[in-house]
Amino acid sequence: MDEKTKRDSLDLLADFCGQTKSLSEPFCENGYTYASDGKVIVRLPSEEITKNKDCFYDMSSLLFEQKGKLVSLPELPKETKATCDICGGCGKMTGCSECEGGQWECRKCNSTGYFKDGKLICHECNGSGMVVSNFQKTITINGHKLQLGYLRKLSKLPEIKIVAHPVKYQHYFKFDGGDGILMGVR
């Protein structure tokens, strides 16, 4: 795999990495490189993309197979932007040392676990100060609810198609270059 393809693949996977240490970067297992935030997992058929072999999850329980017809994503409603509630629009934050990030009730930070205007990039808006205000809303595909924010992420993948009927709330999807699973809303 050439360096440009490797960089492009890592850029694509970075959008699907999570905030926790175990999901903060892509990992490889059994001939695939994966990225996940706990709600969506994307995989590309190559272990050459990253050298990280730290897989903390049993990938065998996931249904990486097409069971049903693949359909195009529906047209998604236009997104609206709002000021980030976490950082107040400044894009920076500091974790509270008193309650260790909101682990218990705290007067110092009002139990939010953070302070605005810190040195860290805000995890909610990725430092932009703006968030999509309808991220938590759902959209229904063939009677199954999916989070609109995750569908927006998937819509950026080339030639994206999603299975019309999920198995165990796991919505298999396929795109040019890889595939993945999106967890549905119960």
pLDDT digits (tens, 9 = 90+) for 87-139: 888 888 777 777 665 566 777 777 777 767 677 778 778 788 888 775 557 88
Q: Do 113 and 144 reside in the same domain of the chain?
A: no
- Give the structural domain span for 88: 83-133
Q: Do 100 and 58 reside in the same domain of the chain?
A: no
Per-residue pLDDT, averaged over 55-73, amounts to 73
Q: Do 60 and 142 reside in the same domain of the chain?
A: yes
Using a cut of 0.75, tell me whether the model's pTM lies above it: no
Q: Do 23 and 10 reside in the same domain of the chain?
A: yes
Question: d(Cα 63, Cα 73) in Å, to the nearest integer?
Answer: 20
Listed in sequence order, the residues at least 6 apart from 4 whose beta carbon sits closer than 8 Å to its beta carbon are: none
Contact 182, 146 (CB under 8 A): yes
Q: Do 28 and 119 reside in the same domain of the chain?
A: no
Q: Do 56 and 88 reside in the same domain of the chain?
A: no
| Structural domains in the chain (count) | 2
Question: d(Cα 109, Cα 67) in Å, to the nearest integer?
Answer: 47
Handedness of CA 93, 130, 9, 184 (dihedral sign): positive
Domain end, chosen from 101, 117, 133, is at 133
Q: Do 31 and 103 reside in the same domain of the chain?
A: no
Q: Do 111 and 19 reside in the same domain of the chain?
A: no
